[in-house]
Structure 1
Amino acid sequence: MKKSPFTCDHNLIQTVVKTIVRHDMLTPGDVVLVGVSGGPDSVALLHVLVRIAERLSFSIGVAHLNHGLRGGASDGDARFVAEIADALHLPCHSARREVAAYRRTRKLSPEEAARSARYEFFEDTAVSHGYNKIALGHHADDNAELVMMYLLRGSGPAGIAGIPPVRDGRYVRPMSNVSRRQIIAFLSKNGIGYRIDGSNADVRFTRNRIRHRLIPMLQKDYNPRISHTLNRLADILRAEEEWLDPLVREMFERCRLKGSVDSVVLSVPELDRIGLAPRRRIIRMAISRIKGDLRRIELAHIDRVSVEMLAVSSVRTKTIHLPDRIRVTRTDAALCICRESVPLRRMSLSSSPPDYDYQVADVPTHRKPTELRIAEIGGRLQFSMASVEDVDGWRKTSPDTAFFDMAAIHFPLTVRNFRPGDRFTPLGFSGTQKLKAFFINNKIPVALRRQCPLLLSDEKIIWVVGHRIAEKAKVVASSKNLLKVQLLLA
């Protein structure tokens, strides 16, 4: 790696080093993938990191994704980035992605599609080539504009907290405390060229109107340091969010009754005991866990659940539908939030989810587990075998893991969903019980009952998956070999 072609110790470099140290962004031995678009921000970041890499003992590679959105200009950006990397003797990883098509298949806005494609490319490149950090060129003015955009949308603290300097211990933004003006001055002083993306001046986009019209007006007429003020607000809220997050997770676990693939069941009495603010956060957390994100989920949706559905002290069953196939069902004691495998409007044509029935013929060995994918619930069951001496903690497992005495079961096993008239003998009981009664007694919402997998041996239910095993298949003192079954995300 060749040093960047400037020698002056610009203030920007010192600011970047302080930011890296303050947030523990980079440590000796890190292998850093730098996202470079060709614009001033990422080009400045690359040159600064090259300059300080030897001092901080990390190595660098360059990543560039051609979005294919600006025709020849996009191709010119790719060539420009490759030339920079070559001049600095750095590995350059580039790819082309037709974001317009990517956007259509995923039903995203142009900005969301470009961002999603870019991050997928960064992740794939990092994994394939051994990079453990990904550095991006976001700076203080970027963050101020984003905070203002979220303020105008009426977002909550998490949105107004802005762009974190470090995310997931992997993505780092060393220029978080550097302004756009400092970046341009740095590039100009050192004679470093960069590319200009004309779309950044297009005021049809909200972000650009904030950058070119609103922020300058606020600087001129209200607060010359508005960007600094917005960044300070973001810092305060980010610290508050970091403090609150473990508290909310603890409350979430207290409220959670059950959970399976694509579902969370919460205790209504526990939710009633807490205030509206933590209740909203718990509902958001539940939806985020099963959906993977909170796109299209607005405050109005959260309040339909956290306020309207919980306002009535007693209710037989109440169901509402939220975007992206999220179904929320309320009973007297339980609130079930689940994501359906098909659109809810199609499910409404049928009174219940489709039946499924699978056979598990292969007996697992100590070295070779067996897996069964259950398409109807978007999950899979993994079967493995171990001797009782090799398994610690089989008496205390999560709801999605169960152990059975291999001597008490026979292959092939059956995995299917609920049928009318099903009965089993729950662990600790001597007689059989109707499965419907078991569901009712354990406050399992109707919306989850037909999705819940049942594991059968010799046509007898040995596990209501995620809830209770049967007495006949339990591990006993004389057990030698155990069958371990886990319910996993697909």
Structure 2
Amino acid sequence: MLQKKDSVLVGVSGGPDSMALLHALVALSDLMDLRLGVVHLNHCLRQKASDNDEEFVKSVAKKHGLPVFIKKKDILQERGKTGLSLEEAGREARYHFFNAVCRKMQFDKIAVGHHQDDNAELILLNLLRGSGPAGIGGIAPVRKNIIRPLIRAPHTEIIDYLKSQKIDYIIDQSNYDERFARNKIRHQLMPLLKNTYNPKMSETLNRLGTILQSEEEWINALVSPFFDQAVLNSDSQKMNLSISELLNFHMAAQRRVIRKAILEIKGNLRRITYSHIDSIIQLINKDFTAARLDLPDQIRILKQADLLIIQKETKNLRTAKPPAEDAKPAVFEYLVSRPTVESEDPVYIHEIKTRITFSKITPDQSQNLSGHGDHAAFFDWDTIQFPIVIRNFRSGDRFSPIGMTGTQKLKKFFINNKINPFKRAFIPIFLSGETIIWVGGFRISEPVKITSETQTVLKVEIFTETESL
């Protein structure tokens, strides 16, 4: 983790963990001939308190005679631009700044203050989210140029060390805000587990993480030949894989090859869930020759005959050139994975200049259905089979309009509603499995309607580019 003559940029918030880390590295600097620097990002979340944190970090760096690199970043504003959660937006901005300073000032490594309890909380959070082995493996002690020297130290030992050395630190009151899932786990769930089931819960979870990290490393090495076999060609923005090769692999190998491919193009797997990978697996198993699936952070998945294409878009996925006004759109087919409680990234149907959002809500949130107009539809969540397919009209389509028994040809529905043949090609058709559940902007299907027994609701909204977004 640390070598003699290393140059280390230390991320310091002013809190107990980063202050203990800085003090320990300063103590080691003469012995190991370390070159140290301090970096701090002011998140501008707590107004004067954030500025006070910044001044505190500056004074600590000055006391130790270390260079300090400071930047202010309005994380609330950044969150609005990216659609990330507040925690995710802060982490993205923080590491982006840290790495920029590291490169510019030629530091070898970045040291951050994660400790044993941080790791236990993350492992538990990922377990509750249904993460796979990589997520439950927790925080790696070393990842690329990021090192975490305190990752095996309990928080109580860090506090004891600070007291014994009479080291000042700052308490961030937002760490007690239980609106954040991580804080709920820290202040509610972990104490319950320790007091009721296992007083050494943090150590137990860390041991689980260590085992899984080791096994992940081994399994990834086993998967590497499968990856090489499936990849036809790639560059930094795009990778082409052979679908026929993928389908020869065990399902577990398919998932890992696809995850590795996304990692290669995206640079990380943040916001890529099991549901996304499962949707891609279903896409390659479908018999249609062309389809598209958009993932978070401008990652686009394309199926073209035997090619599975994973590419990083350089611009927002909503900026594609629209079709000519006098032309019908190309045949399209999109897959939408299962949304979480929070709204997922919107799906943009380039061929018809339409943005579609999906969210999981409670029945009471959908009571005033009349206030949403034809651009919104509400479905009984438990009747829906994911991924949802969005495509345009095809000859022979049938569905069961709400309030009707039996099925009706979609063509007849269009004729009865006086929808001309040209406009029909621009109407998104939503399918659950092989069943049409909504003729976008018109009628949902009888079997998926909300009833008095409905526990959870899927809300879908359509916005065309002529509408106010």
TM-score, length-normalised on structure 1?
Answer: 0.62
Residues 297 and 322 of structure 1: CA distance in aligned 2, closer, same or farther (over 3 Å) = farther
Alpha-carbon distance, 1:343 to partner: 5.7
Residue 109 (structure 1) aligns with: 85
Counterpart of 1:32 in structure 2: which amino acid?
V
> Residue deviations 1:63-86, cap 9 Å, x none?
122111111111111111122122
Residue 55 (structure 1) aligns with: 31
Residue 20 (structure 1) aligns with: none
Residue 311 (structure 1) aligns with: 285
Structure 2 portions without partners, runs of 5+: 324-328, 331-469
Residues 287 and 136 of structure 1: CA distance in aligned 2, closer, same or farther (over 3 Å) = same
> Residue deviations 1:248-289, cap 9 Å, x none?
232111111233563322222221221111100111222233
Alpha-carbon distance, 1:341 to partner: 5.3
- 1:190 to 2:162 alignment: no
Residue 194 (structure 2) aligns with: 219
- In the alignment, the residues of structure 2 paired with residue 198 and residue 64 of structure 1 have an alpha-carbon distance, to the nearest angstrom, of 18
| SS state at 2:261 partner | helix
> Residue deviations 1:212-249, cap 9 Å, x none?
11001100000010000100011011111122223323
- In the alignment, the residues of structure 1 paired with residue 185 and residue 55 of structure 2 have an alpha-carbon distance, to the nearest angstrom, of 31
- In the alignment, the residues of structure 2 paired with residue 253 and residue 311 of structure 1 have an alpha-carbon distance, to the nearest angstrom, of 21
Whether the 8 Å CA contact 1:319–1:327 is kept in 2: the answer is no
Residue 294 (structure 2) aligns with: 322
Residue 11 (structure 2) aligns with: 35
Q: How many residues align?
A: 325
- In the alignment, the residues of structure 1 paired with residue 186 and residue 193 of structure 2 have an alpha-carbon distance, to the nearest angstrom, of 11
Counterpart of 2:71 in structure 1: which amino acid?
A
| SS state at 1:32 partner | strand
Deviates more, 1:277-286 or 1:289-298: 289-298
- 1:99 to 2:99 alignment: no
Counterpart of 1:35 in structure 2: which amino acid?
G
Counterpart of 2:159 in structure 1: which amino acid?
I
Whether the 8 Å CA contact 1:151–1:160 is kept in 2: the answer is yes
Residue 306 (structure 2) aligns with: 333
Counterpart of 1:195 in structure 2: which amino acid?
I
Residues 69 and 83 of structure 1: CA distance in aligned 2, closer, same or farther (over 3 Å) = same
- In the alignment, the residues of structure 2 paired with residue 41 and residue 261 of structure 1 have an alpha-carbon distance, to the nearest angstrom, of 36
Give 1 or 2 for the bigger CA radius of gyration: 1
- In the alignment, the residues of structure 2 paired with residue 210 and residue 33 of structure 1 have an alpha-carbon distance, to the nearest angstrom, of 30
Residue from 157, 165, 178 that aligns with 2:133: 157
- 1:284 to 2:264 alignment: no
Whether the 8 Å CA contact 1:317–1:329 is kept in 2: the answer is no
- In the alignment, the residues of structure 2 paired with residue 89 and residue 35 of structure 1 have an alpha-carbon distance, to the nearest angstrom, of 16
The RMSD of aligned alpha carbons is: 2.2
Whether the 8 Å CA contact 1:316–1:331 is kept in 2: the answer is no
TM-score, length-normalised on structure 2?
Answer: 0.65
> Residue deviations 1:72-131, cap 9 Å, x none?
111111111122122222222222222222222223211111111111221122222221
Residue from 36, 53, 57 that aligns with 1:81: 57
- In the alignment, the residues of structure 1 paired with residue 192 and residue 14 of structure 2 have an alpha-carbon distance, to the nearest angstrom, of 29
Counterpart of 1:275 in structure 2: which amino acid?
H
- In the alignment, the residues of structure 1 paired with residue 236 and residue 54 of structure 2 have an alpha-carbon distance, to the nearest angstrom, of 42
Residue 70 (structure 1) aligns with: 46
Alpha-carbon distance, 1:28 to partner: 1.2
- 1:238 to 2:193 alignment: no
Residue 470 (structure 1) aligns with: none
Deviates more, 1:100-109 or 1:269-278: 100-109
| SS state at 1:134 partner | strand
Alpha-carbon distance, 1:326 to partner: 4.2
